[in-house]
Structure 1
Amino acid sequence: MRRCLPFFGLPLFALMLSGLLLQSATAAPDVAAIKDKLELCAGCHGKEGISETPNTPSLAGQPDQFLQWQLIYFRSGARANELMGPISADLSNEDVRNLAGYFAALPPPPAATSDDNPALSEAGAKIAAQNRCTSCHTDTYAGTKAVARVARQREDYLLKALMDYKAGTRTGGGVAAMADVTYPLKEDELKALAHYLANYK
């Protein structure tokens, strides 16, 4: 958020093992080729990429390159997860491109009809401004390239991710920048930030 370093801390072997040149999709994803994989994804991330599963992110509307990188991290073991590790292990480079392109093209989660704690959102907005979150995540927190969309992401997942960065247990891209932001923040400040982003209009 303070420093936009999406690839800092990336183990080089992740890219070497992938053999994948990341690029924005230039053609529509081959949905038929990943039909079975999409059904598996929907079990946790939702049929339209909008998660209803606790501590599990929505993928709809995430930047294409960001999604490709996360799949590469999981596939190479650079980012450890007991569910995503086995699922991603057998993904081909074409699978990675198709899955990322599919979810990137879906409409992002809609804005909440109401904010149950506007005061907490106001506090979160101040924290976001103080830490220049928009410098990486864009002015609308929609993300770009290898930087995640955080606007209207699940609040519980946002808090978990922020806490993991603070604790140093999150691996993959952006670790240095996010650790720099989260380490000084108290848990109640992280909760306010997560609430603000989850309810962002």
Structure 2
Amino acid sequence: MRWQFISHAIRAVALLALGALPANAADAAAGKAKAEICAGCHGENGISQTENIPSLAGQPDQFLQWQLVFFRAGSRKNEQMQPIVEEINNEDIRNLGAYFSQLAPPKVQEDKDPDLSKKGAQAAAGRRCASCHTDSYAGTKAVARLAGQREEYLVKALHDYKTNQRVGGAGAAMADVAYSLSEEEITALAHYLAHLQ
């Protein structure tokens, strides 16, 4: 009960913070300039080459903005992100969302284990993942793109949701989905999604 209250309170604060964003149009060029600091971890053009660091390229604009708000509000925690988000304002958040969302998503590697992908597709269908993340798993609005994301990062994210280490946004829905996943299903699901274009 306490966790649910905290989760709802965090979402309310985030909604207020996002609602306070001025209505000015986002500037992707300004976002590109601001994103230079992001490249050290998230890679050039938002395509991560670092284990357990997600690619940002091609993520939906609103999703990116929400995650930055959650980090800045402290509901999502990460040692590397905290000092960065303390230095960005609402305009920066809008601009970064606009910039990363217009970049081409990562190109996927050849799937060398199609049987594992088949199991992952079954796990995704059984958990109705497409009902939020879309049939192509490209995400929409405030819902993450999963297609082409780093495989080990997807495993980490599912574990974080399963153990309530990650909150913010659809945390309750994701925790509910991830809680019942076996380790084999997590591995298969991450493999399947990482190899979708």
- Paired residue type of 1:57: P
- Which one-letter code corresponds to 2:149 in the other structure? Q
Q: Does 1:16 align with 2:16?
A: yes
Corresponding position of 1:5: none
Find out whether 1:120 has 2:116 as its counterpart.
yes
Over the matched positions of the two proteins, sequence identity in percent amounts to 58
Indicate whether 1:46 and 2:43 are aligned: yes
> Which of 179, 182, 187 is residue 191 of structure 1 equivalent to?
187
> What TM-score do you get using the length of structure 1 for normalisation?
0.88
Gaps of 5+ in 2: 1-6
Name the CA distance, whole Å, in 2 between partners of 1:46 and 1:66.
19
- The amino acid of 1:76's aligned partner reads A
Q: Distance in 1 between matches of 2:159 and 2:191?
A: 14
Q: Distance in 2 between matches of 1:70 and 1:198?
A: 20
TM-score (norm 2): 0.90
Letter in 2 for 1:31: A
Q: Where does residue 178 of structure 2 map in the other structure?
A: 182
Native 8 Å contact 2:41 2:48 kept in 1:
yes
The code of the aligned residue for 1:184 comes to S
RMSD: 2.0
How many residue pairs were aligned? 190
The 1:28–1:92 alpha-carbon spacing in structure 2 relative to 1, beyond 3 Å, is: closer
Cα-to-partner distance string for 1:70-95 (whole Å, 9 max, x where unaligned):
00001111111111111001211100
Counterparts of 1:70 and 1:62, CA distance in 2? 11
In structure 2, the residue matched to 1:103 is 100
Aligned counterparts of 1:34 and 1:123: Cα–Cα separation in 2: 38
| More helix by percentage | 2
Residue 31 of structure 1: aligned partner: 29
